[in-house]
A and B are shown apart, each in its own frame.
Chain A
Amino acid sequence: MVEWTDFERSTIQDIFSKIDYAVVGPLALSRCLIVYPWTQRYFGKFGNLYNAAAIMGNPMVAAHGLTVLRGLERAVKNMDDIKNTYFELSVLHSEKLHVDPDNFRLLADCLTIVLAGQLGTAFTPAIQAAFQKFLAVVVNSLGRQYQ
Chain B
Amino acid sequence: MLSKYEKELIASIWERLTPVAKDIGSEALSRMFATFPGTKTYFSHLDISLRSPHLLAHGKKIVLALVEGSKDISSLTTTLAPLQTLHAYQLRIDPTNFKLFSHCMLVTLACNMGDRFTPVAHAAMDKYLSAFAAVLAEKYR
| Inter-subunit contact A113/B107 (CB<8 Å) | yes
- Minimum CB–CB distance from A52 to chain B (whole Å) comes to 5
Which residues between 33 and 90 of chain A lie within 8 Å of chain B, taking CB atoms? 34-35, 52, 55-56
| Inter-subunit contact B111/A123 (CB<8 Å) | yes
- Minimum CB–CB distance from A117 to chain B (whole Å) comes to 4
| Inter-subunit contact A35/B122 (CB<8 Å) | yes
Docked complex Cα distance between A126 and B30 (Å) = 9
**Cβ contacts under 8 Å, A113 to chain B:** 106-107, 110, 117, 122
| Inter-subunit contact B119/A52 (CB<8 Å) | yes
Dominant SS among interface residues on chain B = helix
**Cβ contacts under 8 Å, B31 to chain A:** 125, 128-129
| Inter-subunit contact B126/A117 (CB<8 Å) | no
Q: In the complex, how many residues of chain A place their beta carbon closer than 8 angstroms to a beta carbon of chain B?
A: 23
| Inter-subunit contact A35/B123 (CB<8 Å) | yes
| Inter-subunit contact A120/B120 (CB<8 Å) | no
Docked complex Cα distance between A109 and B108 (Å) = 13
Q: Which of A31, A34, A113, A133 has the most CB atoms of chain B within a 10 A radius of its CB?
A: A113
| Inter-subunit contact A128/B35 (CB<8 Å) | yes
- Minimum CB–CB distance from A90 to chain B (whole Å) comes to 24
| Inter-subunit contact A121/B30 (CB<8 Å) | no
Docked complex Cα distance between A37 and B136 (Å) = 25
Q: Which residue of A lies closest to B122 (CB)?
A: A35
Cβ-neighbour of B35 out of A31, A119, A129 (below 8 A)? A129
Docked complex Cα distance between A133 and B36 (Å) = 10
Other A-B pairs beyond A35-B126, A52-B120, A123-B107, 8, CB < 8 Å: A35-B119, A35-B122, A125-B27, A125-B31, A125-B50, A126-B34, A128-B31, A128-B35
Instruction: List 5 A-B pairs, minimum CB-CB distance, nearest first.
Output: A116-B110, A125-B34, A129-B34, A34-B119, A35-B123
